[in-house]
A and B are shown apart, each in its own frame.
Chain A
Amino acid sequence: MRRPITKRYCLGSPTAPVLLLLSLLMVGSARAQLVWEQKLIELRAQPGDEKVEAAYRFRNAGSFPVKIAKLTSSCGCTTAQLAKDTYAPGEAGEILVTFKIGSRIGLQKKTIEVRTDPPAADPVVLGIYTDITENVELDRKIVFWSRGEPPVAREIRVKVLQADPVRIVRAEASDPRLRVDFQELVAGREYLVRLSPADTASALRGDVTLHADTPAAAPQTFTIKARIK
């Protein structure tokens, strides 16, 4: 014999919507309510810059204190600092995120996950997107030949991406078996560099350095690695 559904468990009961609403309100009140000014900060940097920093401001919009329990970075290169852990209702604070650039180039997307006590309804993920644009782009930075193959020249295209022109004035190879010459395709903006070994009979491990005449105080150099293996 089937047991009748008691009024206590029946969803059709008139008290059910009220209980549901109350339980939802109770769950809601147990959630942290940090309001963020922005969760994604986009920055630009140049190769050689040491670091970039971004400040993520927030305010505790809830009615009870919120503790920032844990900050987890997506990369060892990104750190997050906080002046203190716990924020009273209405109190504002900020997380300072530092991204160490190192030798990175291109668009770098790093994130920091913020965990609070009590927890937020959704995990908060702060993004720091840094576009590290190269001033001068080489379409190849390492060239190879296999031992015994014909010593055909390898061509590398050099493009100046910055507004100011860059004049390459000299190219030199660290190994006398490596010949290097370059041609200016577009004045101050584009070059074609040709590398060719005298022969490929034995292994070679060398570098080719392109010397520019700018900036005057510390002229730039660009390195291409060459290997015969």
Chain B
Amino acid sequence: MRVFIPALRQAVFLMLLAAVPSIAAALLHPSRPDPSRIPQVEAAAVKSWTKRFVWVDARPPAEFQRDAIPGALSLSEDDWDRSIDAFADAWEPGVPVVVYCGGGDCGASESVARRLKREAGVADIFVLRGGFDAWRHTR
């Protein structure tokens, strides 16, 4: 017992010592995860969903007209004020939403998803990783 207590004390001390830089890194690291970021979802995972959800196409309307995921709603920040009505008509609270844009680092899907979360209170919202290109390649 006499040997065990100092060893335990040392172990706790070492853990606390290790915790200091870990906490500092978690708070200050430039590439720490951003809690406000919208979670991403893979195209293959969405295709396996059996629950009801809404696709939102964040690309410019002209691109949506050319080709889009069947059943998707067009909601681009190019004409948000006009398109948001269609979203309000189609979506119901509790139904998940998956937003996509062209692919790569297009960024529009993240921006649209953030706005839907804030302005309409969509809690269950995702961004499609790789965008429309990724969806097309998993057809």
Contact = CB atoms under 8 A, between A and B. Distances in A.
A227 interface: yes
Interface in A75-114: 75-77, 100, 102-106, 108-111
Contact of A77 (B60, B84, B119, B120): B60
B63 to A, nearest CB: 7
B78 A227 contact: no
A74 B78 contact: no
Interface string B87-116: 011001100000000001111100100110
Contacts, number: 64
Contact of B92 (A105, A143, A229): A229
B80 interface: yes
Contacts of B77: 77, 102-104
Given A75-B106, A76-B60, A102 B84 contact: no
Interface residues of B, number: 28
B92 A146 contact: yes
A115 interface: no
Interface in B53-81: 59-60, 62-63, 76-81
Given A75-B107, A102-B77, A103-B80, A146 B60 contact: no
B85 interface: yes
Contacts of A105: 115
Nearest to A101: B77
Given A76-B60, A225-B84, A227-B89, A142 B121 contact: yes
Contacts of A142: 84, 88, 119-121
A76 B132 CA distance: 15
B78 A77 contact: yes
A97 to B, nearest CB: 15
A149 B46 CA distance: 31
Nearest to A205: B89
Nearest to B61: A76
A102 B78 contact: yes
9 contacts: A76-B59, A102-B80, A103-B79, A104-B77, A106-B115, A110-B107, A140-B121, A142-B120, A144-B121
Of all A-B residue pairs in the complex, the 4 with the closest CB atoms, nearest first, are A103-B80, A141-B119, A142-B120, A102-B78
Interface of B: 59-60, 62-63, 76-81, 84-85, 88-89, 92-93, 104-108, 111, 114-115, 118-121
Interface of A: 74-77, 100, 102-106, 108-111, 138-144, 146, 205, 225, 227, 229
Given A105-B115, A141-B120, 17 more contacts: A74-B105, A74-B107, A75-B108, A76-B60, A76-B62, A76-B78, A77-B77, A103-B77, A103-B78, A103-B80, A106-B114, A141-B84, A142-B120, A146-B92, A225-B85, A227-B88, A227-B89
